[in-house]
Structure 1
Amino acid sequence: MLRWERGTVSAVTSSWPGVDRLEIDLDDGAGTLSAIAYEELTGRPRAGEQVLLNTNAVRRELGTGGDAMVVARTEVLPETADVRGHMVKARYTPMQTMVDALDDPDSEHYETVREATGIDGMPVVVADLHSSLPAIVAGIRARRRSARIAYVHTDAAALPAVYSKSAARLREAGLLTAVISAGQSFGGDLEAVTVHSALLGARHVVGADVAIVIQGPGNLGTGTGWGFSGIQTAESLHAASVLGGVPIATLRVSEADERERHRGLSHHSSTAYGRALLAPVHLPVLPRTDSRYNSFHESVRKQVKSTILKPAKKRGVLHHLTEVDAKGLRDALEEMPVRMTTMGRTLAEDYASFQYAALAGRCAAEHVRGAGGGSGGAKGESKGPKGGAKR
């Protein structure tokens, strides 16, 4: 269902690369709305232009409905950008866009991607929530400050990669080397047809030390066991595993979420890692010897063992509960140039959410080839080659 409305741009209220947020005066004096315009799809509307809007989410007051979406400028045709390739994203929608993908035969990177057979043990951090991205980056950089980090934006939530202010700011600050939009998502520095080819591109085109794979903003949940967009984490971890990477699964935890199913360890992590995963992964947790270890962390550990490790083991998948030193992570999180929020909660209001994401990042840094041991390291309760299973 689409809800159509028309209006006139009265102002550009904010912008970041690829995106303008506009104030729209609706026709017939029906008030004003905030609207998003994507440069790749509509060009850049300016004050005085009439626009056609999709307002279905904002009128339903959905979590993804803070803005209307500009569908077209009714009196202006944007300039057409030339692309070498012929890969189409958002296929068979009115807004399908053609991109130059890494794995397109016309791409300058095609031979590199075609010849690549794996990702050479590159650690790959996968998370459910997009809000984990800056925390994972903080964790990586707390151990490997100069690491080259590629972010793979998947297509389970927001399709336009440019919608992410966090990714844009991390790119501008030089903390992300590249954003690769995979699957039906589009708008990254590089495009890929699948998560698999995005990971190959991250390693062999970008030269990344670490890849982070997360859906964009707009996580979709239903309260049912399997109906949540973050289930895609399982497939992303499978991709990392089959390509010879080190798969690291970020635990989604919360001390402050009012919903019981997300308090402590989220059922999203339990389902994706305990029931959907067919490959072993690292599950980073706080060590019991840490001075900050308390009943909450003990509860999370017990939940991980009962809802992830135990059911996975019954299916022959031996995950690795990996203890990661949290020393210095609070400072690393507070130093990030991106405001930390998850589900509207700040770093101070729900520190554990970001702490566990940062633990996953530090775990990845410890698995970068050439990274030495020493303090701040990761220690697994079970061992296996490159995060592999003991068979």
Structure 2
Amino acid sequence: MIRTRQGKVTAIKASRPGITEIMVEIPGEGIQKAYNYDLLTGSVEEGHTVILNTTAVAKKLGTGGAHFVMANVSAPTRDAREAGHIMKLRYSPCQVKVLAAEEQDSPHSAAIKNTESLAGTPVVVGALHSMLAPAAAGIKAATAGRARVVYVMTDGAALPLMLSNLAHNLRESGLIDAMITCGHAFGGDWETVNIYTALLTAKAVARADVIVVAMGPGIVGTASRFGFTGVEQGEIINAVNILGGRPVAIPRISFADPRERHRGISHHTVTALGKIALTTCTVVLPELPDADQTGLLREQIARAWPEDKHRVVAADGGPALEELERRGIEVTSMGRGPADDPAFFLAAGAAGIYAAGLALPGE
């Protein structure tokens, strides 16, 4: 069940488009941090009384590290007559109306309806939100910034795009040119109903040279073979092939994760590419200085799926990490940065660099 509390806003700590970080005094529990999604609950000001969802923090799950505003008692009722008929978070107390790019009232409806193919557009498919930055940086580094990069955020993890500091920083730095949210995810430059129309919107409306697809922050995992939201990587690869794109998969690689199931090639990658993906893709391995690590990756892949199922290539992901550093973008995954777990970030960067070569040959 949802744990709710009422509190009074004591301070506005920070804000960026779509989200406001606030401090709220909760009777008997002190002053605590919360997030307000402006699209859902309107603007918030100091002194407002708000209703909070405190479930995750009370369970010490650390989701977002804060509470979330469910309703602003002090704010006036919002007008819901704006254009759009598609509901996201459907049949929940937080359902939100959006104008989907493909619906009839959208100015982009005809363009999407008349586009049935990605026409060979490369699509980098990641399994974690933290893969987004090095992948995008690799694309930009390999093309001297010329390639137009469009990020498609799925609903495999966090649903509000505005929660992601990383996505905001990547746009501000110019590493991402446009963003699309699909399924129940919301907050992108364009809203779409599913991964297929998201990919077509990226091609026909956002004019992507390279598309990067990954969930938002907060992957769900259970340590079981199929019980993690990253299985969507295989499903997305299928979608890209159905639409005539060129899928490039980022393998989840780590030599710093203490869990054996994630050492070298993660069991997430083995399941998503070996079992869920029914069509082929290119798997990009990073060039690593440690020959033993490279050897282990090759051995694991040889056991993960039939040799002829996917094309396996290698690329240098180093320029992607250099590009991130040059633009002042700090990245982490599971609390580790490139210095702690270089193989993880080099893999994502290598995939971006390889995809850039498909989009703009000769760069």
The answer for the alignment partner of 2:159 in structure 1 is: 159
- Shift, 1:78, TM fit: 5.0
Q: CA deviation at 1:9?
A: 0.7
Moved more, 71-80 or 185-194: 71-80
Q: Mean alpha-carbon deviation: is it higher for 318-327 or for 176-185?
A: 318-327
Matched-pair contact (CA < 8 Å) for 1:286–1:293: no
Deviation at 1:258, TM superposition (A): 1.5
Distance 2:126 2:286 in 1: 17
Q: CA deviation at 1:81?
A: 5.8
1:338 matched to 2:329? The reply is yes
- Amino acid paired to 1:41: L
User: Secondary structure at the residue paired with 2:239?
Assistant: helix
User: SS in structure 2 opposite 1:98?
Assistant: strand
Q: Once the 2 structures are TM-superposed, how far is the Cα of residue 340 of structure 1 from its aligned partner?
A: 0.6
> How far does residue 293 in structure 1 lie from its aligned partner after superposition?
4.3
Residue deviations 1:23-48, cap 9 Å, x none? 11102x32121111101001121111
Tell me how far apart the structure 2 counterparts of residues 324 and 130 of structure 1 sit (CA, whole Å). Answer: 21
Partner of 2:265: 265
Q: Name 1:5's counterpart in structure 2.
A: 5
2:65 corresponds to: 66
Q: Residues of 2 paired with 1:200 and 1:337: CA distance? A: 32
Q: Answer yes or no: is 1:171 the counterpart of 2:161.
A: no
Q: Which residue in the other structure is 1:40 paired with? A: 39
For residue 120 of structure 1, report the CA deviation from its aligned partner.
1.1
Q: Which residue of 2 aligns with 1:88?
A: 87
1:234 has 2:234 as partner:
yes
TM-score, length-scaled by structure 2: 0.96
Shift of the 20–78 alpha-carbon distance from structure 1 to 2, 3 Å rule, reads: farther
**Aligned counterparts of 1:142 and 1:297: Cα–Cα separation in 2:** 24
Q: Does 1:356 align with 2:347?
A: yes
Cα 1:78–1:352 shift into 2, 3 Å: farther
Please say if residues 321 and 345 of structure 2, whose CA atoms lie closer than 8 Å, have aligned partners that are also in contact. Answer: no
The answer (yes or no) to whether the contact 1:59–1:65 under 8 Å persists in 2 is no
SS in 2 for 1:10: strand
Report percent identity of matched pairs. Answer: 39
Unpaired stretches in structure 2, ≥5 consecutive residues = none
Q: Which amino acid aligns with 2:301?
A: V
Q: Does 1:30 align with 2:20?
A: no
Q: How many residues align?
A: 362
| Deviates further, 206-215 or 323-332 | 323-332
Residue 173 of structure 1 deviates from its aligned partner by: 2.1
Deviation at 1:21, TM superposition (A): 1.0
Which amino acid in the other structure matches residue 299 of structure 2? K
Aligned to 2:53: 54
| Alpha carbons 1:42, 1:78 under 8 Å: kept | no
CA distance in 2, matches of 1:270, 1:37: 38
Partner deviation per Cα, 1:105-151 (whole Å, 9 max, x = no partner): 11100000001110111000111110111110111112112110110
Take 1:119 and 1:330, find their aligned partners in 2: how far apart are those partners?
Answer: 28
**Does the alignment pair 1:371 with 2:353?**
no
SS at match of 1:361: helix
Mapping 1:282-293, distance limit 5 Å: 282-287=282-287, 292-293=289-290
8 Å contact kept, 2:89–2:96: yes
After superposition, give the CA deviation of every residue in 1:140-186 in whole Å (9 maximum; x if it has no partner): 11211211011001011111111111111111222211110001111
RMSD of aligned alpha carbons? 1.5
2:309 paired residue number: 318
Residue of structure 2 equivalent to 1:140:
139
Q: Which amino acid aligns with 1:299?
A: L
Q: Which amino acid counterpart does residue 71 of structure 2 have in structure 1?
A: A
Change beyond 3 A, Cα 1:223–1:333:
same
Distance in 2 of aligned mates of 1:184 and 1:60: 24
Unaligned runs of 5+ in 1: 374-391
Aligned residues of 2:282 and 2:313 also touching (Cα < 8 A): yes
State the one-letter code of the partner of 2:268.
H
Match of 2:342, as an amino acid? Y
- How far residue 325 of structure 1 moved from its aligned partner, in angstroms, is 3.1
Residue 291 of structure 2, aligned match among 284, 291, 294: 294
Q: Which residue of 2 aligns with 1:125?
A: 124
The CA distance in 1 between the partners of 2:62 and 2:257, in whole Å, is 16
Separation in 2, partners of 1:219, 1:336: 26
Per the alignment, in what secondary structure is the counterpart of residue 169 of structure 2?
helix
Q: Is the 8 A contact 2:149 2:211 kept in 1?
A: yes
What SS is found at the alignment partner of 2:283?
strand
Are the equivalent residues in 2 in contact too, given 1:22–1:34 (CA < 8 A)? yes
Provide the C-alpha distance between the structure 1 equivalents of 2:123 and 2:265, rounded to a whole number of angstroms. Answer: 21
Q: 2:316, 2:346 within 8 Å by CA — same for their partners in 1? A: no
Contact 2:237 2:247 in 1 (8 A): yes
Separation in 2, partners of 1:77, 1:278: 50
